[in-house]
Copies of this chain bind each other. A is one copy, B any other.
Amino acid sequence: MTTNYSAQYFINGILQADIAILSRAITLVESTNQINQNLAQEIINGIIFKTGNSFRIGVTGVPGVGKSTFIESFGKEVIANGHKLAVLAIDPSSNKSKGSILGDKTRMEELSTNPNVYIRPSPSSGNLGGVTRVTYETILLCEAAGFDFIIVETVGVGQSEIAVSKVTDFFLLLMLAGAGDELQGIKRGIMEMADALIISKADGDNLNKAKAAKLEYAHAMHHFQKSQSGWIPRTDICSSISNLGIKSVYKMIMEYRQFVLSTDYFLVNRKQQQFELFSSSMEDHLKNYFYSSIFIQKKIKEFHLLNNTDSIQPFLLAKNIVDEFFKNNEIE
């Protein structure tokens, strides 16, 4: 489905913080239709001068860790401090299971009715490159509409947290105080990306377990390599029921923001992220061209038809095919 509205219509609407128009522009960004894609790029072109001024945080954690209730409590703290908040979700499981992140908006009842909050679940179908692009461009649109605090929520079990880390300034990992096997629930690589590891549901009978888990995680993270920013990742506990720790998470994030602004890492990192988005996107397009080529498709088919597994020279074959692919080529 395409639209009859012009790019300028969307640009004006977004700059005037018209939420309905913002939502429709995001739908264009998400669309795989080429006409919609072109329109989306035109819209972004028109609003890009008003982007980049938000603080972007990624929130991840396994299902059941309480991401939605955390964001509900934390988000209230964010808007209490005068921000306009956009909550985006990357949900790689949304095709498979229902009731996943943000599927049920009522889980953020108070936030979703607040005029200073915009909540947007994202379908996030497609490959990692596509997910990263949609998330990044959605952030830009939200920023242009005046949202100066962006939360990107994802389930920390797939590759979506890599996408998130490429487009956010701060990475917050929510974890449960488990029974043993503390480090099993989540991939170590994700823990290494975290700027803060927050133990959720630290209330009632669970409070002491959460305190113990905090120490254990702090010990484990101690072994990690220092992050590029120079920031030492923090470990803390919180409860969305008792509101324990919510204010201090906000304070910590502001402290981080101050720190990376003072060291210039904030801008260096943003620039670095843009270059990574640029080059991985180029490589995605490059591979698309390559694998769409009839010649390459034929060669791959031929490879699969080879019977004698022992007499294949995969590296020589690969080199010859790519040489031939570029042979009649005017590229210099």
A261 within 8 A of B: no
Interface contact A310-B51, CB-CB below 8 Å: yes
A223 within 8 A of B: yes
Contact stretch, chosen from A60-68, A109-117, A236-244, A268-276: A268-276
Measured CA separation A92–B65 after assembly (Å)? 39
Interface contact B278-A332, CB-CB below 8 Å: no
Q: Which of A294-320 contact B (CB under 8 A)?
A: 294-296, 300, 303-304, 309-319
Interface contact A332-B189, CB-CB below 8 Å: no
Interface contact A313-B48, CB-CB below 8 Å: yes
A329 within 8 A of B: yes
Interface contact B318-A48, CB-CB below 8 Å: no
Q: A189-B189, A223-B181 are in contact. Are A286 and B287 (CB under 8 A)?
A: yes
A49 within 8 A of B: yes
Q: How far is the CB of A157 from chain B (nearest CB, A)?
A: 12
Q: Which residues of A contact B (CB under 8 A)?
A: 41, 44-45, 48-49, 51-53, 133, 136-137, 181, 183-184, 187-189, 219-220, 223, 267, 270-271, 274-275, 277-279, 281-287, 289-290, 293-296, 300, 303-304, 309-319, 321-323, 325-326, 328-332
Interface contact B275-A304, CB-CB below 8 Å: yes
* Chain B residues positioned under 8 Å from A275 (CB to CB): 303-304, 314
* Chain B residues positioned under 8 Å from A136 (CB to CB): 314-315
Q: Which residue of B lies closest to A273 (CB)?
A: B314
Q: A183-B183, A184-B220, A188-B187 are in contact. Are A294 and B332 (CB under 8 A)?
A: yes
* Chain B residues positioned under 8 Å from A49 (CB to CB): 310-311
